[in-house]
Structure 1
């Protein structure tokens, strides 16, 4: 939303009082998030802390990895279920994101052909998902390579394959987010055709009463 609208929204929510609304965080385009945060902090006395910065990318002209990794892509199958659940859990821990109902998500995505595996010498070494096409758009994620298999280009290969699958399903736009603290991912996605759109922030708000009176931080999310 426009920056001005974000600031007005924050002011209205702050004026409503905690009995009507509790905003514990905000995420979105950097400019709008900063406008919302400034108005919210002015209206409530809360303080904001940065959780992470991301960059939104859109697929332009798709290309394969400049240095194709060993192995091949295939769609995930039910036999991969337990491994992919482990990888989803590891992804959530590494990226400090909450992923609800991981087992159900893995089951649904396998059934719908929306999870992709890169395997090398018959061994799964990386995964990528793509969301169903909605309003002409599909989002790539999560992309995960276990620590022992990194550095071989597997993430590039499986992301390129997942992107091609999204296009084959009719997506006019394929999107993904990267963590700006990870220069590797921001580099490899551009190498396979992704172009930056905008930077995004996720902020958590800490209420003064929580911080001083109860000595704890709220860790819920909103926005």
Structure 2
């Protein structure tokens, strides 16, 4: 039993493809990050079965996909493997963090949801959705920076390329008022292995309380299903009961809980 690593997505797919396909929802982060990862890894059992996968991002963050606690423990004791942040399913991340011997603290607790029976917002918010276009790039880039700040991330200087990719591929929708004013947005990842993940759900503070995010989320979920996603997923922050309740009203159902931890010099 051992971890194997590569910098080549094609080699990773060849080795871990069966595992990724068997659990596309639980592997959603790895599936959507693997083409831009600095490094990819898989844990092989004595019979060759893969029971753990990971990506290491350019920033050095480690993301675990569906991974056994045994594999996470083995990863934690590898010499020189010292990421500053680890994210993944709660049991595997806790096993890794405790076995590392390094001070750490939880930074986010999330829940992965999968869309079951789609349910339109009730009441339906005023206005309608539309797929964002090129002219919307400046607004969406500004909102994306606000979104990053709101969730506690360090915002990038420029999100133009990030949002242009999503807009040019028809993966970002805006909710606009009857007068045509954009008031909310939601995006979805590319469909990979039959799964796509909703993200960038954001409404500026002055526009909240009218159900616009529900309208945008329901609309982009339909975009994902229309693009061939058999599993439409999203993550929620467990500290935000409003968003957790909203997504369940739209038909999303819990899959598994996730944890993000940060390693520190001084402990918790």
TM over 0.5: yes
Supply the distance in 1 between the matched residues of 2:160 and 2:204 (Cα, whole angstroms). 18
1:164 paired with 2:222, answer yes
Aligned residue runs from structure 1 range 62-141, under 5 A: 62-98=118-154, 102-120=159-177, 121-141=179-199
* Greater helix fraction, Structure 1 or Structure 2: 1
Supply the distance in 2 between the matched residues of 1:196 and 1:99 (Cα, whole angstroms). 29
Q: Does the 8 Å CA contact 2:185/2:213 hold for their aligned counterparts?
A: yes
Which residue pairs with 1:48 in the alignment?
104
Deviation at 1:67, TM superposition (A): 1.2
Which digits, 9 at most, give the CA deviation of each residue in 1:56-82, with x for residues without a partner? 000001111121100000000111111
Which residue pairs with 2:54 in the alignment?
none
1:179 paired with 2:237, answer yes
SS in 2 for 1:22: coil
TM-score by length of 1: 0.86
The runs of 4+ residues in structure 1 deviating greater than 6 Å are none
SS in 2 for 1:88: helix
Which digits, 9 at most, give the CA deviation of each residue in 1:117-174, with x for residues without a partner? 0001210000000111111111101100000000110000000000000000000100
CA RMSD of superposed structures (Å)? 1.6
SS in 2 for 1:5: helix
SS in 1 for 2:214: helix
1:33 paired with 2:33, answer no
1:22 paired with 2:82, answer yes
Any gaps of 5 or more consecutive residues in structure 1? 212-223
Supply the distance in 1 between the matched residues of 2:154 and 2:161 (Cα, whole angstroms). 14
Which residue pairs with 1:146 in the alignment?
204
Deviation at 1:191, TM superposition (A): 0.4
TM-score by length of 2: 0.72
Supply the distance in 2 between the matched residues of 1:168 and 1:98 (Cα, whole angstroms). 33
Q: Does the 8 Å CA contact 2:130/2:174 hold for their aligned counterparts?
A: yes
Supply the distance in 2 between the matched residues of 1:107 and 1:5 (Cα, whole angstroms). 38
1:9 is aligned, of 75, 87, 90, to 75
SS in 2 for 1:198: strand
SS in 2 for 1:132: coil
